[in-house]
Structure 1
Amino acid sequence: MDRGAAGAALAGEQDARPVQVRITNLNKTFQRNKESVHVLHDISLEVEEGELLVLLGPSGCGKTTLLRCLVGLEKPGEGRIELGERTVVDAERRVFVQPNRRDVAMVFQNYALWPHMKVAANVAYPLKARRMKDEIKRGRVQEVLDVVQCGHLADRYPPELSGGQQQRISLARALAPRPALLLLDEPLSNLDALLRIDLRAQLRLLHREIGFTGVYVTHDQEEALALGTRVAVMKEGRFEQIGKPGEVYHRPATEYVADFLGARNRMALEVAADGTATINGVPVPGFVRPGFTGSYALRMRDGDLTVRPAGATTVDDRRHWVAGARLLEVLPAGDHAEHVVVMGDSTLFVDVPAALGELEPDQDVEIGLDPDHVLCYDVDGRLVDDWAAIR
Structure 2
Amino acid sequence: MAKKCMYNFIINKELLPKLGKRIKWDLVKEVEVYLKEFKNSYLLKVEDLKRNSRSETFILFSYNNINASEYIRIDNLTNSKLEKYFIEFGIIEKEIEDIPDISKICNVCKKSKHITDFEKNKSCSDGYVGTCKICRKARRKKYKRTCLTCNSTFESIYKNAKYCRPECKPQHIEKKVIVNCSICGREKKVNNYRKENYKDFYCSDDCKNKGYSLKYSGKNSARYDKLTVKCEICGVDVTRNRYEIEIANHNYCSKECANKGWSKYYSGKNNPMYGKERPEIRGENNPSWNPNKTREQRQKDRKIRENTMWVRMVFEKYDYTCKCCGKRGGNLVAHHLEGYNWCIEKRFDVDNGVVLCDKCHKLFHKEYGYGNNTKEQFNIFLKKEIK
Check whether TM > 0.5.
Answer: no
Larger radius of gyration: 2
User: Normalized against structure 2, the TM-score is what?
Assistant: 0.21
User: Normalized against structure 1, the TM-score is what?
Assistant: 0.21
More helix by share: 2
More strand by share: 1
